[in-house]
Amino acid sequence: MIESRLLERIERKKSQLDALRPLPAAVVNRLREQILVEWIYNSNAIEGSTVTLQETRLILETGLTIGGKTLREHFEVTNHRDAILYVEQLVADREKLTPFHVRQIHKLVLSQIDDASAGNYRATQVHIAGARHIPPEAWEVPIQMTEWDKWLAKAEKSIHPVILAASAHHRLVKIHPFIDGNGRTARLVMNLILMQNGYPPTVILRTDRQSYYRVLSLADDGKEKSLINFVGKSVERSLTLYLNANKKQTQKASKRAEWISLAQAAHGTPYSQEYLSLLARMGRIEAVKQGRNWLTTREAIQNYMTSLSGKKNS
């Protein structure tokens, strides 16, 4: 269900990160601060918040209000921080994830925004703007959340943590158990599962918003593979970030390992920039996104070409 090359890279990078543990406290704290701001900013921006990355950092560090931004948008920043702190505590305490914890996460997400709905399942029918999927009737939500809990307890014993996190996130969004805040809550739950399994938290980027909604829509139609690969690429990006931050740089990276644009990477290969972009989006080559642009390495292209030769010879 997950692209084999992507899974191999995730497993390799996870093993490399595990071999470095315990990570230096200074590095962990710096990474946590960086991820915290990016996680909050991107998750809120996906839902329509106009608060910028720098404004998010300012609100978190100083508690100041930003001119031109609504009170709701300020609460969305501080609430998301509180929800992340709760998720981190659940991970530290090795708590088993249940619908109760989902409701507690949601309560923190909507605190002071909609206290009547915070932490409570919806009592009315809802429709997701721009989506064909119609969530279950309100009376079905408690039943479906119980089924989600049973599925999770069984699935966590048999499927890969990245697949588990992506699928649990989608199933939660599909139930749409709350009036508001479903997306933020589902992404927090996704990261809770990843962190419980030793992965760093992953950030779904605001610039990938349309792709994110598209793969969620495909998953609604029973085609979860695109969503799982989408989440897998986000997980790989976080693993790469953590590995690079903990790597002792004794010399300049070789030309083969240097991150370059797809246009540069295409030179001297049988592939066009457009085809490399497709391979990056599918997870078939190692690539990271910088803004709206993909970067890869010459080594990644060579590894992909070698993998093709291996398949032909097998």
Q: Is the pLDDT of residue 17 over 80?
A: yes
pLDDT in the model for residue 50: 97
Q: Provide the pLDDT confidence category of residue 306 given band limits of 50, 70 and 90.
A: confident
Q: Is the pLDDT of residue 253 over 70?
A: no
CA 196, CA 187: separation in Å to the nearest integer? 14
pLDDT digits (tens, 9 = 90+) for 209-224: 999 999 999 999 999 9
pLDDT digits (tens, 9 = 90+) for 68-100: 999 999 999 999 999 999 999 999 999 999 999
List, as own/partner pairs, every contact residues 208-211 make where C-beta atoms lie below 8 angstroms and the sequence separation is at least 24, other chains included: 208/289, 209/45, 209/46, 211/281
The answer to pTM > 0.85 is yes
Q: Is the pLDDT of residue 250 over 70?
A: no
SS3 296: strand
- Ordered DSSP codes for 211-279: HHHHHHHHHHTT--HHHHHHHHHHHHHHHHHHHHHH---SSPPPGGGS-EEHHHHHTTSS--HHHHHHH
Q: Residue 285: which residues within 8 A CB-CB, separation 6 or more? A: 5, 276, 279, 296, 300, 301, 303, 304
State mean pLDDT over 111-133: 92
pLDDT digits (tens, 9 = 90+) for 135-158: 999 999 999 999 999 999 999 999
Among the ranges given (64-68, 183-187, 233-237, 247-251), the one the predictor scored with the smallest mean pLDDT: 247-251
pLDDT in the model for residue 133: 87
Q: Provide the pLDDT confidence category of residue 314 given band limits of 50, 70 and 90.
A: very low
pLDDT digits (tens, 9 = 90+) for 226-244: 999 999 999 999 999 999 8
pLDDT in the model for residue 313: 52
Q: Which member of 74, 133, 176, 267 is catalytic? A: 176
Q: Is the pLDDT of residue 101 over 60?
A: yes
Residue predicted with more confidence, 281 or 195: 195
Q: Is the pLDDT of residue 310 over 90?
A: no
Q: Is the pLDDT of residue 6 over 50?
A: yes
Q: How far is CA 307 from CA 9, 66, 277, 282, 304, in A?
A: 13, 51, 18, 15, 5
User: What rounded mean pLDDT belongs to the chain?
Assistant: 93
List the structure tokens of 234: 């986000």
Q: Residue 158: which residues within 8 A CB-CB, separation 6 or more? A: none
pLDDT in the model for residue 127: 84
Among the ranges given (35-39, 118-122, 248-252), the one the predictor scored with the smallest mean pLDDT: 248-252
pLDDT in the model for residue 312: 57
Whether 80 is catalytic: no
pLDDT in the model for residue 145: 98
